[in-house]
A and B are shown apart, each in its own frame.
Chain A
Amino acid sequence: MIEIGIEIEYLPYIITVLLIASIYAIFSLGLNLEWGFTGLVNFGHVAFLAIGAYTTVLLNLSGVPLILSVIAGVALAGLCGGLLGIPTLKLREDYLAIVTIGFAEIIRFFLLNEEWLTRGPMGVHVSSRPFEELIPGDYNFFLFPFVLGVLVICYLLLEKLVKSPWGRVLKSIREDEDVPASLGKNVFSYKIQALVLGSMIAGFAGSLLAFYLQYINPRNFMPIETFYAWIAVVLGGSGNNRGTILGAFILWAFFSGTRFAQGYLPFSPTQMGALRILFIGLLLILIMMFKPEGLLGKKEELTLTK
């Protein structure tokens, strides 16, 4: 009886961990489309998460219906992705990396400083969440299956795409863009499409993150969030959607597992935070050494070599 009692006690926590992991899995799927399948180095993926979250919350707060606010967030994230791609994607590949990381910081500082719009460091409270009034008890028990559903739909739509002729063009760009160009494919347009779609997915993840957090502020959108997505993608296997989802779940299981272990280890929370990052670094090094294609990736499709 006592054991069951403990399980029930832990259930909300487990649900919460799975919920966050699912949101990050969606976020990472967007990056996997850009890097894993197209070879675009986006170091500012978090910008689109922030744009999706803030647009949804601020519009809803000003009276726009929730569903329209989410759509606007997704659309604005996609639009920004496209606008960012136009000047950079015609240049060498590293330009995108530099510009995106700069863009993400610009967005964060914008959120921090334009208080008339974003309330700056104070952050904003989420005014309503989907079906909130209909859900009795712990809202996360509804939000988790909802987010999981979104994740499954994103996964299925993306799988359909990457296995289509469209996905084949992306993979050819990833390896050597001269080939698709010599065969009549508009490489630039495909890169923009991948970046816009990846950004829209991140924007959607942002809306969902806001629903989970209930209160968002610029600190939720630090550059490290981008690299969590990178870890998920690289860990699971670049260019493998299932791998990316697995990577995101492993990452968050690890984060929460170490939080659990906190009580049994002789470290302060600050030390523990640093150790956590250290362990992730170690894990990445080991992956690079022994399984560079990631857990579910194919060796023959290893994207890190050129």
Chain B
Amino acid sequence: MPMLSVHNVEKSFGGIKALDGCSLEIRKGAIVGIIGPNGAGKTTLFRIISGFEKPDSGTIVFNGEDIGGAASFEIARKGLIRTFQIPKALTKLTVEENLLLAPQFQYGERIWNVWLRPKDVKRQEAENIKKAHALLEFLGLLHLKHEYAGALSGGQKKLLEIARALMVDPKMLLLDEPFAGVNPTLALRILEWLKELRDRDNENDGITIMVIEHDMPKLMQLSDYIYVLNKGKVIASGAPEEVRANERVVEAYLGGA
């Protein structure tokens, strides 16, 4: 059973067909790249999969469940977490608070628990802080934990957003241009790290990743499989080498130069 299958999804904005019968499948534990020229419908596809936009038609099945038309928070609760192309760090919260927001079903997210079960809330918060610090340390952001996220650089915000998504322990991640604006050394580390997450021994723990990226060398290095979108449709797919050799892809995207 695939982790995610998108079948014949269509979406129009006014007269523009952003997605025109888009279909793809992603198996569990895969890292799948999505490429395509600007306006190909990549981000719209992400928005639809993550519930930020409703498809006009077509089906989306995640982990055996139909999630087409579900609300974004419901989809996130099933373990499908997205990041944003322009990073949405919450600038008026601290770096640490940004990460602590993420874990789901916290005791302290209910008013009565805050007032009546403060000990449980505190204990869970302490566990989450530990986890957050480990992530921040890995990303080299630990010394900034009490800074407002608004003070971070663009690249750091990007990292913060990926870290925040990982605080959820997602089954699948949708990353929208995770390397844009991140310095090459750190980008390579993230790349290795994403692969590591996927390869975790326990098969159930391994995460599935779908990533939009314009940095071709990095994407080729990261992905097991690549889908090429153009004008709202999948025009080619395959292993990175195959895609690179595909003439239609070269024409639509890689080439032109």
Interface residues of A (CB under 8 A from B): 157, 160-161, 164-166, 168-169, 171-172, 174-176, 178-187, 193, 197, 300-303
Within B80-127, which residues are at the interface with A (CB < 8 Å)? 81-84, 88, 90-93, 97, 100-102, 104, 106-111, 114-115, 118, 121, 125
Are the C-beta atoms of B72 and A164 separated by less than 8 Å? no
CA distance A168 to B74 in the complex (A): 19
Q: Are A183 and B81 in contact (CB under 8 A)?
A: yes
Closest to B128 in A: A165
Quick check: is B73 within 8 A (CB to CB) of the other chain?
A: yes
> If A164-B114, A178-B84, A184-B104 touch, does A171 touch B168 (CB 8 Å cutoff)?
no
Q: Could you tell me which residues of chain B, from 108 to 150, have a CB within 8 Å of some CB in chain A?
A: 108-111, 114-115, 118, 121, 125, 148, 150
Q: How many residue pairs, one in A and one in B, have C-beta atoms under 8 Å apart?
A: 99
Chain A residues with Cβ below 8 Å from B92 are: 171, 174-175, 300-303
Say if the beta carbon of B27 comes within 8 Å of chain A.
no
Q: Is B50 an interface residue (CB 8 A)?
A: yes
- Among A165, A169, A182, the one with the most B-chain Cβ atoms within 10 Å of its Cβ is A182
- With both beta carbons as reference points, the residue of chain A lying nearest to B83 in the complex is identified as A182
| Shortest beta-carbon distance from B158 to chain A in Å | 14
Note all chain A residues with C-beta closer than 8 A to B50: 182
Which of B71, B101, B107, B168 contacts A169 (CB under 8 A)?
B101
Min CB–CB distance B33 → chain A (angstroms) = 21
Closest Cβ neighbor of A180 among chain B residues: B101
Using a CB-CB cutoff of 8 Å, which residues 146-183 of chain B contact chain A?
Answer: 148, 150, 164-165, 168
13 contacting pairs across A/B (C-beta < 8 A): A166-B110, A166-B111, A166-B114, A168-B100, A171-B97, A172-B90, A172-B93, A174-B92, A175-B91, A175-B93, A183-B165, A184-B81, A302-B92
Chain B residues whose CB sits within 8 angstroms of the CB of A166 once the complex forms: 108-111, 114
Complex CA distance for A185 and B84, rounded to whole angstroms: 16
Contact B111 A182 (CB under 8 A): no
Q: Return the chain B residue nearest A163 by Cβ.
A: B114
B52: contacting residue among A178, A183, A184, CB under 8 A: A178
In Å, the complex CA distance between A171 and B109 comes to 12
* Distance in angstroms between the alpha carbons of A181 and B106 in the assembled complex: 15
Smallest distance from the beta carbon of B115 to chain A beta carbons, Å? 6
Cβ-closest chain B residue relative to A174: B92
Contact B100 A184 (CB under 8 A): no
Chain B residue nearest to A196 (CB atoms) is B111
Q: A175-B90, A178-B84, A185-B73 are in contact. Are A165 and B100 (CB under 8 A)?
A: yes
Roughly how many angstroms separate A174 CA and B108 CA in the complex, as a whole number? 18
